Amino acid sequence: MAQIRGIIPPILTPMHEDESVNETELKRQIERMIAAGVHGIFCFGTNGEGYILSEAEKERILAITVETVAGRVPVYAGTGCVGTRATVRLSQIAQDLHADVLSIITPYFAAASQEELYEHYRTIAEKVSLPIVVYNIPARTGVNVAPDTVRRLAEIDNIVGVKDSSGNFDNMLQYIEKTRGMDFSVLSGNDSLILWNLLAGGTGGIAGCANVYPETMVSIYNRFIAGDVEGSRAAQDSIRSFRSCFRYGNPNTIVKKAVGMLGYPVGACRAPFQSLSEAGVTALRQVLQENTERGMR
């Protein structure tokens, strides 16, 4: 079973001007991430625009990713849908395409109770054999997976972790506390909390900023594991200026724009999620230049 740890980038989905998937650039970005030492590749997460891709596109992207990665790191597939039946179907497709781990966002739009969340994940876990990471992002879904619910889910054999993108450190801390001593991983979905996740007993992060600075993000984890907490802290602190640019727009729009500014033809996010003001472009360009001069990669 894949180890749920380290820095896992939710890989961008590069696109041509007509919004079709740029498969050549996708392969290039995967190789770029692996060369930087990432610990996994996560297909069609938030930064991969999974919310706007068709099922056929997801299948193609996952097939390309599995083939390109060729077993060098685990491949995560985001298979969460609004309903249980649809999630089971997409999860079984991902299993057939040889993904290593499933990342399953909570149901969204209609509010689910904690018992409904538990039954949703339990049912999916019974229908697949792959390890499952629960994806908690209440700002986008309208529901928070309670720590007690995560504790119950952790007792299911192939539910092996949770990604917490709530931005609430106490929520993530309770996930860690309530699953301590179990074979269960807690990942930060907020890039500014990765070091604090590790210090509290978590295992790393699914880090959108790794699309921009893969080596820097990997060093947060690697330095911590090597016992260099101050070096890890310096790497963690170094992404603050870039994350401050998120005030200008949608974070995954900013991330994709930044990667394009670094010279990679990843294209824009699919409409309508692609606007960035002139002030945002100027600020982002300045931050990228300053960070490049500081040696951030």
DSSP single-letter state for residue 269: P
Block residue for tokens 């824009």: 268
Q: Please, are residues 74 and 34 in contact by the beta-carbon 8 Å criterion?
A: no
Helix (H, G, I), strand (E, B) or coil at 74: coil
Q: How far apart are the first and last CA of the chain?
A: 30
Q: Please, are residues 28 and 264 in contact by the beta-carbon 8 Å criterion?
A: yes
Q: Which tokens sit at 73?
A: 């790191």
- Collect all residues with Cβ–Cβ distance below 8 Å to 87 and sequence separation of at least 6: 79, 80, 81, 104, 120, 124
Distance CA(214)–CA(35), nearest Å, equals 9
Tell me which residues are annotated as active site: 135, 163
The candidate with the shortest Cα–Cα distance to 61, out of 7, 25, 18, is: 25
